[in-house]
Amino acid sequence: MYALVDANSFYASAEEVFDPTIRGKPVVVLTNNDGCICAMSASAKRLGIKSFSPYFQVKDLLHEAGAIIRSSNYALYADLSRRVFEVTGRYAQQHVYSVDEAFLKFSNQHSSSTAWFDIAQDIKHTVWLETRIPVGVGMANTPTLAKAASFAGKRFDKFNGIAVLDSPEQVHYVLSNMQCSDVWGVGKRIAARLHKMGIYSALELAQYPPAQIRKAFSVELERTVRELNGTVCFSWNDVKADKQQVFASRSFGERVDKLEILNEAISFHAQRVGRKLRQQGSVTRKISVSAQSSPMQPNHYKRNVVRQFVTPTNDDRKLVGAAISAMAEIYCEGVSFLKCSIGAIEIEPEAIMQCDLFSSNDKDSALMSCLDAINAKFGNHSLKVASQGISDKRWQMNRKYLSPEYTTKWSDIPKFTC
């Protein structure tokens, strides 16, 4: 049996955890630079606003409704996500699928749906008790059907957040009430092609001959059809595969036209790339650095420069030095830059790296380990390369409505008066 545990409106729910005064009110979370709406609480969704609507277009409506506006607080969300999955991981083998979803694979079998429902209810209750994050649980015999169960738990009132599809009747009911585009891995473009074949519901997709689906589409969609019929075709590794490329980028809070400010921004992102590389035990032979002006402006400017290392590295100092060198080549006087990015594009495992005989790699690795340990204890970028600067950063994201980082920053720890 598989279960999918899915947090309800996760970003909005996370904002409510340490601020009980906003629970039950319309809560809206904005994307980078407070541009668009990326998450809404249940009461905010009832206002009829669509996800990813530009904030300026619905600002007056939200104000009239007394909505609570929050900028994306990624540090808070990441920590609460970790806490949720620490709880769910106690129940069975776990695969974290995204920041707000995780699959569980149960090896034991129960004879009744009541037993599975009790487990799902216990997961839901325990996660809420320990994290104050509301979750839904969908259970079925395959990962794809577990996804469908999760969908049903959220959309169909009869399930009230928990759906256990352990009988043909339950599976038939849910699939007959789902569009084929709602099936995990299908999406709108494939659904449009399915419609031309007379397939509109998830049940119609499940009843279509798998061999014909494979011939018309792909082996992946054939596996989806078989999973809808109860045959497990998808699996996961206990550990996610290392990323083959690692990027860091952000649009600036305001336009930047000075090289020294661009250097501060690219140094910040280079250190982020270095940390990601070390976290997955990788090094890089090349970095790609780019910067651009707004595509909406006349004479749009965009340039990309690649730098290669003699010896593969994940050392922040080397990454930053190469990034600043590349930025000097990219910079064009008179251009107002909107965004910069850096990516490690030729990655290999650090364990099999061929070292330079005369390098100080051991000392460099020890220094980076020390830096990571300090930042893990006191917060990211507590210790950083000097080229990031220490003054107010014009290039950082606009996050006017940012809530405190309650769980990852000492100065933001909640204070209670007894």
pLDDT value for 388: 86
Measuring CA to CA, which residue among 184, 268, 171 is closest to residue 223?
A: 184
Could you read off the pLDDT of 212-244 as tens digits, one per residue?
Answer: 999 999 898 999 999 999 999 887 653 355 567
Residue 392 predicted with pLDDT over 90: no
**315 touches 370 (CB < 8 A):** no
| % residues pLDDT > 70 (the chain) | 94
Give the model's pLDDT for residue 415: 82
| Torsion, CA 305, CA 262, CA 276, CA 401, rounded to 10 | -140
How far apart CA 36 and CA 57 sit, in angstroms, is: 9
Give the CA distances from residue 199 to residues 155, 207, 324, 341, in Å, rounded to whole numbers and listed in that order: 21, 10, 54, 42
**Between 259-279 and 361-378, two packed helices, what is the crossing angle to 10 degrees?**
100
Average pLDDT over residues 328-340: 94
Give the residue extent of every domain in the chain. Answer: 2-165, 246-388
**Which CATH code fits 246-388?**
3.30.1490.100
Q: Across the chain, what does the average pLDDT equal? A: 89
Q: Identify the residue with better confidence: 408 or 15.
A: 15
> Angle between the 10-17 and 74-88 helix axes, to the nearest 10 degrees?
90
Architecture of domain 2-165: 2-Layer Sandwich (3.30)
Please report which confidence band the pLDDT of residue 359 belongs to, taking 50, 70 and 90 as the band edges. Answer: low
Reported as a single tens digit per residue, the pLDDT across 261-306 is 999 999 999 999 999 999 889 999 999 999 999 888 888 999 999 9
Q: Supply the pLDDT for residue 193.
A: 92
Distance CA(202)–CA(265), nearest Å, equals 47
Q: How confident is the model at residue 22 (pLDDT cuts 50, 70, 90)?
A: very high
CA 359 to chain centre: 37
More confident residue, 18 or 362: 18
Contact 84, 131 (CB under 8 A): yes
Closest CA to 239 of 278, 280, 184, 274: 280
Give the per-residue pLDDT at 132: 95
